[in-house]
Amino acid sequence: MSDPVLETLLLPFLNGTLDLPKARGSILFLRARAGADLKELPEGALVPVQSFAPDRDALAAHGYTVLHQAEGEGYPLVLVLPPRQKQEARALLADAVRRTAPGGLIVVCATNAEGGKALEGDLESLAGLDGKLSKAKCRVAWAIKDEARVNGALVAEWVELDAVRPILDGQFVSRPGVFAWDHIDAASALLASNLPSSLSGEGADLGAGFGYLSTEVLKRCAKVTGLDLYEAEQRALDLARENVAPLATGRRLGFHWVDVTKGLNKTYDFVVMNPPFHQTGKAGRTDIGQGFVRAAARSLKPGGHLWLVANRHLPYEGVINEVFAEAIMVADEGGYKVIHARKARGR
């Protein structure tokens, strides 16, 4: 698939405006994504960093060893594809400046619709601005790190913008950039309020986020003996581990940094989920939620139960009716629907 943002990020190098370092491990790539243009980079030079499992897996499939968080400093070149959330993006940009060697390059890119112009301004505020280009409704900008221009106080301030912190009067810890990071998502709250206390046995929470829904399962359902949390974003999964662990009370907990749509490796008595419907960019991705439903159906034991919440308009009923024996809508409030489905016995 075409990736205009990645293509635009690398444009200044491919058109000869900027030079690439060639030494092994000399190019740090924050929020790295796979793409055909990466083959133009010197062999062994790229150090990709990615905490989102689908992008991590795509990079690994192309032979890259992927870090889940950045390590080291003094890179001649740091590439950045900032996320959409402003605080997380600024923290990542400040970290890029910090990890770049004096005289090295920081190169960033975003679509116009997702803050490309503001990104230029942020880079200029941190380290100055030495060039920019536009292509395919994307903006790439770069700065040569000059310690005399770097705003050290702002770098230090922005690096902390996505730090882990207590939220909701200390009920949870969270951080900017994860889903519904500073509040309880209304859809998840609706699902939690409709979960039966009779849920029992081994269960899974698909797309667990910072762990709210799992905490509700453990609080409400005394007969649950084990719960596995599946989450594509490791930054969220680390939070969930901290938030859910105090509620284990002798029950088994598991934490899995994976792309759920590729399937699960265990079987369960029940699955709960508030599946995502966005990935990179703003466009809706109903196929992700549909993939979650299929993964749940494959992993449930015969007679097992799925409890799902989704925006009312999302077309999940077709795939649910295809892979489950029966399904009913148990709630329809505030633009959200809660669906309970049961897997046929003997399947």
165-342 maps to CATH 3.40.47.10: no
- How many Å apart are CA 218 and CA 203, to the nearest integer? 10
Mean of the per-residue pLDDT values of the chain: 95
Tell whether the model's pLDDT for residue 283 goes beyond 50: no
| pLDDT (tens digit per residue) in 78-107 | 999 999 999 999 999 999 999 999 999 999
Pick the CATH number of 4-159 from 3.30.70.260, 3.40.50.150, 3.40.50.720, 3.30.750.24: 3.40.50.150
Three-class DSSP category at 223: strand
Q: What is the mean pLDDT of residues 115-138?
A: 96
pLDDT of residue 315: 86
Tell whether the model's pLDDT for residue 233 goes beyond 60: yes
pLDDT of residue 1: 67
Q: What is the mean pLDDT of residues 19-36?
A: 97
Lowest-pLDDT range of 176-185, 261-270, 337-346? 337-346
Do the Cβ atoms of 107 and 142 come closer than 8 Å?
yes
pLDDT of residue 317: 93
| Percent residues over pLDDT 70 in the chain | 97
| The pair of three-digit structure tokens given for residue 35, joined into one six-digit string | 């793409």
Three-class DSSP category at 333: strand
CATH 3.40.50.150, the chain: domain bounds: 4-159, 165-342
Lowest-pLDDT range of 24-38, 167-181, 274-288? 274-288
Tell whether the model's pLDDT for residue 58 goes beyond 50: yes
- In which element (H, E) is residue 96 found? helix 86-99
pLDDT of residue 200: 98
Do the Cβ atoms of 213 and 272 come closer than 8 Å?
yes
Nearest to 246 by CA among 143, 170, 345: 170
Distances in Å between the Cα of 193 and the Cα atoms of 95, 226, 338 are 40, 20, 10
| pLDDT (tens digit per residue) in 309-346 | 999 999 899 999 999 999 999 999 999 999 999 998 76
| Percent residues over pLDDT 90 in the chain | 94
- In which element (H, E) is residue 219 found? helix 212-220
| pLDDT (tens digit per residue) in 128-159 | 999 999 999 999 999 999 999 999 999 999 99
Residue type, 120: E
Tell whether the model's pLDDT for residue 284 goes beyond 60: no
Model-wide pTM > 0.85: yes
